């Protein structure tokens, strides 16, 4: 099984991440077997867009171009590249 994200993919840090929780890798060869914690600074990045820079070939997780922390599937979600937010139509 391949990992959910590929090098170059744009992802968004999920909102509501709690440093007291564990987060699982939900794809790749270690689907469900690998858990990561996170630090406060990672949780504070909620809603930020990151670029996948490296996918661990053993399925442990992802590194991103914007920082030196490791991430996994439950911490990230696909970024909507053409997302448009309208505050008013008038």
Q: Which residues contact 45 (CB under 8 A, 6 or more apart)?
A: 13
Q: What share of the chain is helix, strand, coil (3-state, %, to 5)?
A: 10, 25, 65
Query: What pLDDT is attached to residue 88?
Result: 61
Distance (Å, whole) CA 26 – CA 10? 18
Rounded to a whole number of angstroms, the CA Rg of the chain reads 14
Q: Percent of the chain, pLDDT > 90?
A: 77
- What gap in Å lies between CA 53 and CA 86, rounded to an integer? 31
**What pLDDT, in 10s, does the model give residues 29-44?**
989 898 999 999 999 9
């Amino acid at each position: 099984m391949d990992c959910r994200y590929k090098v170059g993919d744009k992802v968004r840090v999920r909102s509501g991440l709690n440093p007291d929780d564990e987060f699982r890798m939900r794809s790749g060869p270690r689907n469900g077997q690998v858990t990561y914690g996170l630090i406060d600074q990672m949780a504070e990045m909620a809603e930020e867009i990151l670029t996948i820079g490296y996918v661990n070939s053993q399925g442990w997780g992802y590194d991103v171009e914007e920082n030196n922390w490791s991430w996994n599937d439950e911490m990230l979600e696909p970024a909507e590249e053409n997302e448009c937010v309208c505050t008013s139509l008038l």
